[in-house]
Amino acid sequence: MSLSDDLSDEEVRAAWKKLADEVRTGVLLTLRDGHPFGSHVPYLFGNDWSRVYLHLSRLALHTQHLTADPRVSLFIAEPDKPAKNPLALQRFNLQGDALILSPTDASYESVKQRYVAKFPQSQMMFGFGDFSLWELRMRDAHLVLGFGQAYQAHSSVPEQWRHQKPEKKT
């Protein structure tokens, strides 16, 4: 793939879905005293990247941060390997807001079933009173597939990806 190759929306969608399927955890970034705070979390995507679901304990610092300030980012990255150029690793950065998904919400049972299917170990924790299912409502996505292959999207049209081309010097 060269720097001038623009991928189609379908190719970009397939690439982020493949990355999300292969990497089951990401870094949840919350705000702690106005500074970024990262936590490693398992995640589940909704129909597209604009909805992400997490099962979090209210005892965890990141959950306490979300309760105080719902602004959030989720960062997913391809694992580093000795043969890979670390600057060319695929990565997906999402920004939005978080809220608790109420057990009375119409989508709750479906999301819970999908989450447990992906993370069977979580079944027991759904019975714990301090755990809640959180919905991340993402607004913006930034996907890097390698050198010169950065794409951006907005939740108003989540399937449309804009190639982030370097500015030409005049």
Please report whether residue 3 resides in a domain: no
Burial class (CB in 10 A: 0-12, 13-18, 19+), 1: exposed
CB 1 within 8 A of CB 146: yes
Residue 169: its pLDDT value, please?
66
Q: Could you tell me the residue range of the domain that residue 96 belongs to?
A: 9-163
User: Does the pLDDT value for residue 161 go beyond 60?
Assistant: yes
Q: Does the residue 81 lie in any domain? A: yes
CATH number, residue 35: 2.30.110.10
Whether the predicted pLDDT of 165 surpasses 90: no
Q: Is 134 exposed, middle or buried (0-12, 13-18, 19+ CB in 10 A)?
A: buried
Q: What is the pLDDT of residues 21-69, one digit of tens each?
A: 999 999 999 999 999 999 999 999 999 999 999 999 999 999 999 999 9
Q: Is residue 90 part of a domain?
A: yes
CA nearest to 73, candidates 89, 60, 58, 91:
91
